[in-house]
Amino acid sequence: MAKGLLIVLSGPSGVGKGTVCNELRTRMPDLVYSVSATSRQPRLGEEHGVNYFFKSREQFLEMIENDQLLEYAEYVGNYYGTPRDFVEQTLEEGKDIILEIEVQGALKVKEKFKEGIFVFLLPPSLDELKGRIQGRGTESQATIDNRMSVAAQEIGLIENYDYAVVNDEIDLACKRIESIIIAEHCKVRK
Ligand code: 5GP
């Protein structure tokens, strides 16, 4: 049986990865979502095993030690990582799986899974991204400036990716990603 496709959706903070990924999951019910582990606290409404596997820092470090993570990264003081077994098992079953992760983690996946499909989600412009980060209303000016400079650096890593998708409109962004997945399945080498 043909293996499934590993799709990595990444991009700078504030670009809307989570929103696009949720919408894709609704539109493509056969697409399996990789639930990450994190050491951050759950937000209101988030469920263990659905949004994340919530772990203590110690538990997370144990997962790293036992080589249970395909990749992990520290992001704004918390750990985030992709459980390895679930991804490998899903691909073996011939199902496609999507990882919604930040840029450093995506590059680590690429080292291990060259055959993965790496999609970089872009804001329509840096000004728009700034507006979105400010729009959350929770960040200080220093934090916003810091996130903007991180975002600019992350965008500089786009050449490591296979596809660039502009998130100008959620519907269009999802259509573009759906088309990428369909096209990848049509490739002759597959
Ligand atoms: P949040 O705390 O807002 O849910 O996520 C913060 C960032 O961590 C987002 O950019 C999200 O894509 C990223 N992230 C979520 N899960 C993982 C993961 O398993 N690995 C990595 N490297 N990043 C992740």
Take atom 18 of ligand 1 and give the residue whose Cα is closest.
Answer: 81
Domain range list for the chain: 6-186
Cβ pair 167, 16 in contact under 8 A = yes
Query: Angle at CA 131, nearest 5°, toward 126 and 100?
Result: 70
Ligand 1 centroid to Cα of residue 60, in Å, is 14
The pLDDT profile of the chain, 190 residues, written as one tens digit per residue, is 789 999 999 999 889 999 999 999 999 999 999 999 999 999 999 999 999 999 999 999 999 999 999 999 998 889 999 999 999 999 999 999 999 999 999 999 999 999 999 999 999 988 888 888 787 677 788 878 888 888 889 999 999 999 999 999 999 999 999 999 999 999 987 6
Ligand 1 atom closest to 51 (CA):
4
Ligand 1 atom closest to 108 (CA):
22
Ligand 1 centroid to Cα of residue 10, in Å, is 9
The sheet that has 78-83: what strands, in order across it? 52-54, 36-38, 78-83, 69-75
Take atom 9 of ligand 1 and give the residue whose Cα is closest.
Answer: 102
Q: φ and ψ at 47, to 5 degrees?
A: -120, 140
* Ligand 1 contacts CB of residue 81 (under 6 A): yes
49 is in an annotated binding site: no
One-letter amino acid at 158 equals I
Domain 6-186 top-level CATH class:
alpha beta
